[in-house]
Amino acid sequence: MRILVTGGCGFIGSALVRKLVAEGHDVLNLDALTYAGDERSIAEIANAQGYQFRKVDIADAGAVASAFADFNPHRVFHLAAESHVDRSIDGPGIFIRTNLVGTSVMLDSAREYWRGLDELARAAFRFVHVSTDEVYGTLGFDDPAFTEDTPYAPNSPYAASKAGADHLARAWVETYGLPVIITNCSNNYGPFQHPEKLIPTVIRTALSGGDIPVYGKGENIRDWLYVSDHVAGLMAAADAGEVGRKYNFGGDAERTNIDLVRTLCRLLDDKRPSPKPYEDQIRFVADRPGHDMRYAVNSARARAELGWAPSVTLDSGLSETVDWYLAHPDWLSRDAAEIARLGLGR
């Protein structure tokens, strides 16, 4: 197949691109290469037959339309987004531009392209819009997990911009018939994640001997999903998902932030011992505004309709992730000054 991926130099997007290329698909990767994109994440397939890259801002309608016309995709995976909560608090405007305006440009370009296809190609075309569980807001400790029918209640500028993008995607199905599938995922982790995010931050600061920052008292709970499991879910949604339907992907692996951080410290104690336990470096810092208390994702629909289930346990996934970052110290040192200024990610 010919598959267009937006945000293919980001964390999840690059994992998807690498998988698609490995399976023999022709891939066009559109990425603006902002702070969130890194060409090193796709270096291993950069010269592969069938792989193409274009530096494109998805809010640039002309560039996006040209990509559709030149590449003639069978499928689109739309992952390009501003996704760092702390950055959205500091500057929400770029999140609105990329996540809302950019998504509207992608949907409209896809619609114009799709309308020009023959009947069989129109029937086979799919546009997978990739979103987050943060659109649902926050859960209490005893609340049931988010389902696809949970009302939207975003609490950060990032989450609000993604919620708006989800609504646009749904509207393009209902109004124009564009064959869109919407997916929402829990916290991803694994190799090539941006160094601002929680797990790389813990590993980097622990190894440097600095303070390991934890927001509040570390009681916030997240459901963790290994990135390769998420990629498998996205591909299953494109293959077997029902047009206009939403699918949640979660790892069934809830953990408080402080427990996760302590687990990472203990893994580092085993894999890269230091004179004293890494847990001694943990420091609690002022909580960020609007910090959601708990995310948990019910993936029953994806399991039943797509035949998908997470295959990597949190303990094994964290161990593999720590191994990868220890083997790639250059990744953790990237943009150190800017990372230090911003502090923890999501």
User: Catalytic residue positions?
Assistant: 133-134, 158
User: What gap in Å lies between CA 160 and CA 96, rounded to an integer?
Assistant: 9
Residues paired with residue 212 on neighbouring β-strands, in sequence order: 282
Structure tokens at 121: 């190609």
User: What gap in Å lies between CA 276 and CA 217, rounded to an integer?
Assistant: 22
Is residue 218 within 8 Å of residue 285, measured between CB atoms? Answer: no
Residues recorded for the chain: 346
User: What gap in Å lies between CA 2 and CA 94, rounded to an integer?
Assistant: 30
Closest CA to 346 of 162, 186, 160: 186
Helices 11-22 and 227-240 pack at an angle, to 10 degrees, of 60
AA letter at 17: V
**HEC-encoded secondary structure of 60-110:** CHHHHHHHHHHHCCCEEEECCCCCCHHHHHHCHHHHHHHHHHHHHHHHHHH
Is residue 178 within 8 Å of residue 114, measured between CB atoms? Answer: yes
* Exposure class string for 114-147: b at 16+ Cβ within 10 A, else e: beeeeeeeeeebbbbbbbbbbbbbbbeeeeebbe
